[in-house]
Structure 1
Amino acid sequence: MTRAERPVVRGRDTACGRGGQPAGGAAAAVRRCHAYLLGMTFCLLAMPLAAQGQQSDSVVGDRGVPTFGTITEITRVQITVDTPQGKKLFPVNETQKVTFKDEPRELRNARDGILRGQLENSRSDLEKISLDGITRKEIRQDIEFYKAYCDGRLALVGGGDKAAAVKALRAFVENPANNASHHYYTAIELLGDLAVALASYDNGIKYYSQLAEAPWPDSKLRATILEANAMVASGRYEEALARFDSALAASLDDARAREQKLLATLGRAVCLARLGKPEEGIALVTQIIDENNSQEKPVLFARAYNALGTCYLQANKRQDALLAFLHVDLLFNQDPDAHAEALYHLSALWQETGKSERALKARSLLESRYSGSPWANRKDKS
């Protein structure tokens, strides 16, 4: 329930005086005066912070707290900020957002929109920016990167020009001036995603291998799993299984690593099913579903039910597979790639059961909402 939807609760000291008696005129005036002074005090205290945010650089760490100061150095892996309290270092993989003094308002709006998933609006904001008069290298880099990033993400979902997005991202990462950008590894990962979407699986694996060069253990683990996913997409299940097993054997055991290992287990289950052991895959996925909270991890559950559906298909349990994919369509459709996969399978399975209208509805939704997804253009049967 939002604040606006909540019933208004009258406090003991609002419209009435203490004890529920109507407040006298003088008492009410005093309370209004106190409220005015309190509001003015808050505004005066907040003004320096707001001014600081406009007149300095800032870095928002993974806890969502901004640090204001002057950014003195940016590399692929670390951002250095001089603050009144001294120098502070921020690992790029633990940074949510970086803003710069005097950057265009449209850039700030676009960056915030991207964090909210509003890619089309963000791309429109970026297009409004004139580079005339922008001399700071980092601001120009941000504009270039975010344009390419929006184009790439939109191409993966909505049917934009993937080849053009690849060209723009490659131009960004191959430009020596951007070699130390804090966006470097994000661009590399997106290049891998686009390569896989274009069925250029070896190129995808190449980019994910470059992602593994990042110094953070969780990034290396993620890169291993992405490589394995590319192998699954290309039908190289034995190789993919070995990569998933390698990820699961990693000693890293923090919260991020545990989430990645759950995804690796799902990938392992799919490989086992494709290699003739669907019941083993079903057991692995069922355990993940039983031991985790769907409200806390909707994307994990989307991928889990897709993996379960794939295992059921390999076991020739078509009705169970339909129900698994239906979970994604109806309950866990927040992740575009997972939802596209579920719709692809549902369109075929509904047709098998004689529900041609539902099959057409699933296919139409897949092609209209996720026209850029490989699942929208895939022709093989479930």
Structure 2
Amino acid sequence: MFAIARLSIRCSAVLLGLLLASPVMAQTDRLYPHGGEVVLGKIKSISKNGIVMTVSGKDQTFNAGTIEKVLFQGDPGELTQGREFAIDNQFDQAIAELKTVDASKLNREPQKADFAYYVMYCQAQQALSGNGDLRSAASTALGFIQQNTDSWHFYDTAKLLGDLAVKLGSYDQASKYYGSLRSAPSTETKIESLYLNALVKLAQNKDSEAASDLQKIVGLGVQSSEGARLQTLAKAALAIATAKQGKGKEALEMVNELIAKLNPTDTETAAEIYNAQGASYVAMGDTEGALLAYLHTQLMFSTHPGPHSEALKQLAELWTKVGKPDRAAEARSELQQRYPGLSG
């Protein structure tokens, strides 16, 4: 019996030693690709173009635009939870959690950069939704990108800077930041660069130029779900550009095709499509149709500040046109209460 027990102990010890020496146990960092399984390994290097990770003794490269998040070995719980809140667009909760992180105990440079990014990201998103200072957020984002030129968050931050510049009316700056996305390794990010710059042209009433760029996106043979989503958004924006050029009926036909193929899980894209429908009806002089379209966004897609605030602005004008000042006042009041920084 004693011999068997000793043998069992020795076998257990050998097994434990093998496990501790195995690549699985040595894998400490976790990388989550968009739409893929978590990858366990050790981060070898990070640059603005992505991450090289050693997995089971072999290096694997992950492009920046394909990464959802990274969990580093030794992350404090507060950083892990704050990161999750941020990714889930719960920015108030994220900031509250991140404020409890003791930054002095972050002993890896990638951890420090990740922490700084999510603090900056949440502040920027709050400002973009009208609940923060746009100039302060832009300054913080610029500071991050200057101090972390090798962060895999580089292109995401460049996009944020473009978004903030648009809200501030600095369209030349926005074009510069969005233009930098063309250097990203991800095909989808390159498409996004063209799409976002087309939106800048729309905001500047350069409708024919915007339409030309958007048509290029529509004509692409995309190979991914994200590429297809960007193509749908480009079609919605192309409808708006078409409507602004006085072709409301043609724009409406384009939008109705998109509505017939709506992805029920992508509510943000749906909101943009219904706003495009509203713009099409406005171009046709159909106030009632425009009201119904923008009301759809107001009532169904209130979790997306960008299209939701745009719908409220349009509704305030449309209700006034049809002689319902009380409804117009309600729309303005909701706009002011939910998006104080965007109501001007």
Same fold per superposition (TM over 0.5): yes
The answer (yes or no) to whether the contact 1:152–1:166 under 8 Å persists in 2 is yes
**Corresponding position of 1:4:** none
Are 2:192 and 1:222 equivalent residues in the alignment? Answer: yes
**Corresponding position of 2:60:** 88
The answer (yes or no) to whether the contact 2:27–2:55 under 8 Å persists in 1 is no
The answer (yes or no) to whether the contact 1:74–1:181 under 8 Å persists in 2 is yes
Any unmatched runs of 5+ in structure 2? 1-19
Are 2:326 and 1:357 equivalent residues in the alignment? Answer: yes
The answer (yes or no) to whether the contact 2:141–2:157 under 8 Å persists in 1 is yes
Distance 2:244 2:299 in 1: 26
Shift, 1:65, TM fit: 2.6
The answer (yes or no) to whether the contact 1:217–1:252 under 8 Å persists in 2 is no
Aligned residues: 322
Any unmatched runs of 5+ in structure 1? 1-47, 378-382
Q: Deviations for 1:269-299, whole angstroms, at most 9, x for unmatched residues? A: 1111111211111111111112334x23322
**Corresponding position of 1:17:** none
Shift, 1:62, TM fit: 1.9
Aligned pairs (5 A) from 1:10-159? 56-84=28-56, 86-159=58-131
Structure 1 pair 86/182, CA: closer, same or farther in 2 (3 Å)?
same
**Corresponding position of 2:9:** none
Distance 1:264 1:285 in 2: 11
Of the structure 1 ranges 223-232 and 61-70, higher mean CA displacement relative to structure 2 is found in 61-70
Shift, 1:242, TM fit: 1.6
Of the structure 1 ranges 92-101 and 223-232, higher mean CA displacement relative to structure 2 is found in 92-101
Q: Deviations for 1:324-347, whole angstroms, at most 9, x for unmatched residues? A: 111111223332111111111111
Structure 1 pair 132/255, CA: closer, same or farther in 2 (3 Å)?
closer
The answer (yes or no) to whether the contact 2:215–2:238 under 8 Å persists in 1 is yes
**Corresponding position of 2:6:** none
How large is the RMSD of aligned CA atoms in angstroms?
2.0
Match of 1:283 among 250, 253, 266: 253
The answer (yes or no) to whether the contact 2:75–2:111 under 8 Å persists in 1 is yes
Which consecutive segments of 4 or more residues in structure 1 shift more than 6 A? 52-55
The answer (yes or no) to whether the contact 1:60–1:96 under 8 Å persists in 2 is yes
Of the structure 1 ranges 217-226 and 233-242, higher mean CA displacement relative to structure 2 is found in 233-242
Distance 1:246 1:270 in 2: 16
Shift, 1:132, TM fit: 2.1
Match of 2:228 among 252, 255, 258: 258
Q: The residue matched to 1:232 in structure 2 has which SS? A: helix
Q: The residue matched to 2:152 in structure 1 has which SS? A: coil
Are 2:284 and 1:303 equivalent residues in the alignment? Answer: no
Of the structure 1 ranges 252-261 and 343-352, higher mean CA displacement relative to structure 2 is found in 252-261
Are 2:297 and 1:325 equivalent residues in the alignment? Answer: no
Q: The residue matched to 1:132 in structure 2 has which SS? A: helix
1:297 counterpart letter in structure 2: D
Distance 1:301 1:75 in 2: 34
Distance 1:85 1:54 in 2: 10
Distance 2:98 2:90 in 1: 12
Of the structure 1 ranges 54-63 and 185-194, higher mean CA displacement relative to structure 2 is found in 54-63
The answer (yes or no) to whether the contact 1:54–1:102 under 8 Å persists in 2 is no
2:78 counterpart letter in structure 1: E
Match of 2:313 among 344, 348, 353: 344
TM-score relative to the length of structure 2:
0.88
Structure 1 pair 54/367, CA: closer, same or farther in 2 (3 Å)?
farther
Distance 1:114 1:237 in 2: 35
Of the structure 1 ranges 148-157 and 75-84, higher mean CA displacement relative to structure 2 is found in 75-84
The answer (yes or no) to whether the contact 1:273–1:314 under 8 Å persists in 2 is yes
Distance 2:72 2:146 in 1: 23
Distance 2:27 2:59 in 1: 18
Distance 1:282 1:173 in 2: 41
Distance 2:209 2:189 in 1: 20
Structure 1 pair 53/239, CA: closer, same or farther in 2 (3 Å)?
farther
**Corresponding position of 1:192:** 162
Are 2:132 and 1:160 equivalent residues in the alignment? Answer: yes
Distance 2:325 2:251 in 1: 30
The answer (yes or no) to whether the contact 1:55–1:101 under 8 Å persists in 2 is no
Q: Deviations for 1:138-194, whole angstroms, at most 9, x for unmatched residues? A: 11111211111111110011331111111111111122xx11111100000000000
Q: Deviations for 1:90-116, whole angstroms, at most 9, x for unmatched residues? A: 222221110111122211111011111
Match of 1:180 among 150, 156, 161: 150
Q: The residue matched to 2:341 in structure 1 has which SS? A: coil
Q: Deviations for 1:334-361, whole angstroms, at most 9, x for unmatched residues? A: 3211111111111121222232222222
2:202 counterpart letter in structure 1: V
1:167 counterpart letter in structure 2: S
Larger radius of gyration: 1
